[in-house]
Structure 1
């Protein structure tokens, strides 16, 4: 049977259960209009949970309603546990989502866990960014446009450059590294970003991409390794790394 949306839900505050509504409007790189979790500054713009996971809670004796676990979209017949970061879904005729995170760290304590006794979004749910605008409602079909297996290598590429960040120069090294990773390792490029030659910006990006719930296996930086006063990438990386492995760097240089 074709996967479909069973319910669409929103809330006006984070950490709360959500309420089913007739339809929702999704905005590119923002999320669902009127939902507390929407925003251009987050990669967790939309949350999805399949009805199979909710049914398990019902079998445990909890009278679960759609939205009770903080999910925006309750799906049916969608193999959520097979969808890796980078998977692209089409909802109805217009909307497209890109899976950006598997599960999450739960707030302690959160209102959902207090009410249900157990919050299953951290282990059963997925999160996504909105790629294309549109309206979705219960009953809309879900199509898997691009499937990224959860076993695939997930990589992030950070270009460090004042000029590229300001738009004064074109970033060529970042896309080149991404292409090499995709071709040689069949890696999914989960994140690509350009930051200025500033320690705080580099460190923030490295830490965000290193969060366990992001499931990113490799992070590459390019730029900022020269002798100019603002070339601070090595120092910024050293502030984040727990255990350096210089042999890997040497192997890359000699390859």
Structure 2
């Protein structure tokens, strides 16, 4: 079994779809990624701000598993870390299988708590036509399956770098499956 690690870290100070890869990012407790457009105690995603700017920001840090990129490449889409707007690209960790409330220790100090699934929007098709159907689909029962990563909040701040180990701390049972946030 592969050990979980950080493959890449990304941020962007502006609200653009993709984020530039960095040598490191600093997570700030209760806020998100320093220098990122989604930093804040309250929601920063433009569509959500338009609905209710006072909502808590449950989407401070976006994580995507690099294994999704392999799946997308097999479907004809060349996607790299940061392209889908994530802050942290992971390797060796089944992010989508984690229960709500899972804590991830990223490197020596930082800790994030998983709040739910990213719900990709139509912007993803502007990035690569037809990509939305690859990251949001349906299972054999007809239930919606979202593959676009998970969202989290920063519990303990710290610097995160590519190559950092990821330790998983599951919440006490009963475990709640991830829902879109």
- Structure having the higher Rg: 1
1:144 aligns with 2:168: yes
Does the CA contact (< 8 Å) of 2:99 and 2:170 recur in 1?
A: no
1:23 aligns with 2:24: yes
CA distance in 2, matches of 1:70, 1:148: 30
CA RMSD of aligned residues (A): 2.3
Give runs of ≥4 in structure 1 deviating > 4 Å. none
Pair 15,85 (structure 1): closer, same or farther in 2 beyond 3 Å: farther
Aligned to 1:213: 180
Aligned to 1:203: none
CA distance in 2, matches of 1:21, 1:6: 11
Larger fraction in helix:
1
Higher relative contact order (Cα pairs below 8 Å, separated by 6+ residues): 2
1:18 to partner: Cα distance: 1.1
Q: TM-score, normalised by structure 1?
A: 0.56
Aligned to 1:10: 11
- Which structure 1 residue ranges, 5 or more long, are not aligned? 155-189, 191-211, 215-255
- Which structure 2 residue ranges, 5 or more long, are not aligned? 43-56, 137-144
CA distance in 2, matches of 1:15, 1:148: 37
Pair 61,26 (structure 1): closer, same or farther in 2 beyond 3 Å: same
CA distance in 2, matches of 1:28, 1:63: 33
Q: TM-score, normalised by structure 2?
A: 0.77
